Amino acid sequence: MAKKDLKFSNIKHIAIAGNIGAGKTTLTTLLAKQFNWEPHYEDVDNNPYLYDFYENMPRWSFNLQIYFLNSRFGQIIKIQQGEKTVIQDRTIYEDAQIFAPNLHAMGLMTKRDFDNYTALYKTIGSLIKPPDLLIYLRGSISALVGQIQKRGREYEDNLRLDYLRRLNEYYENWINSYKEGKLLVIDIDKCNFAEKPEDLGEVVNKVRANLHGLF
């Protein structure tokens, strides 16, 4: 395992954002190994609502988003109170800026539930700090679908293309207005960090440069 870079000793939180199938979990694992950071993954296997949500989105959308919000909030509190440098698979911003608004816009979450969710997020947002570096994985719909099919998660079999497409639009709108901290954008259509060592090396160099404040 790589030794922790002492130059990053003041860095506590790196977060990876991106649409479903963008490669967040893969890159989290690779960068955690490279820099000896502690990975925090999205709780997919133990999520009690995920399967039900994909079967009946209107019924379970609010429950799912509250679960994610609470899970992510708990992760951030542990990061802020801990001593280790953590790299996080998905951010709390995505829940509130992308998934919940998209569900509401598609008629899959009621206005009452959405307003309640938004009020809770604003309260939580006042208690947390942004990550030291946000890495956004940008990808075309074809690239995302290819990755989703490759990993073969059963609950994603019924994932609608229009849902994925709308999420991408929300992601782009959010990332184009992100001002909370440092941002690194990786185009997964051009950068295959999962299978090409040279592409991963390029990502590692960009991460290191961003954390050193060169870009």
Helices then strands (H, E): number in the chain? 9, 5
Q: Give the residue carrying structure tokens 């940008």.
A: 138
Closest-CA residue to 179 (of 139, 134, 118): 134
| Residues noted as catalytic | 89
Measured distance CA(55)–CA(64) in Å, rounded = 12
58, two tokens: 């209107």
Largest CA distance in the chain: 49
**Backbone torsion region of residue 138, taken as left when φ is above 0, otherwise alpha when ψ lies between -120 and 50, otherwise beta:** beta
Checking DSSP bridges between strand 182-187 and strand 133-138, what pairing results, if any?
A: parallel
Burial class of residue 113 (count of CB atoms within 10 Å of its CB; 0-12, 13-18, 19+): middle
Cα separation, 182 vs 161, in Å, equals 31
Q: What is the DSSP letter of 82?
A: S
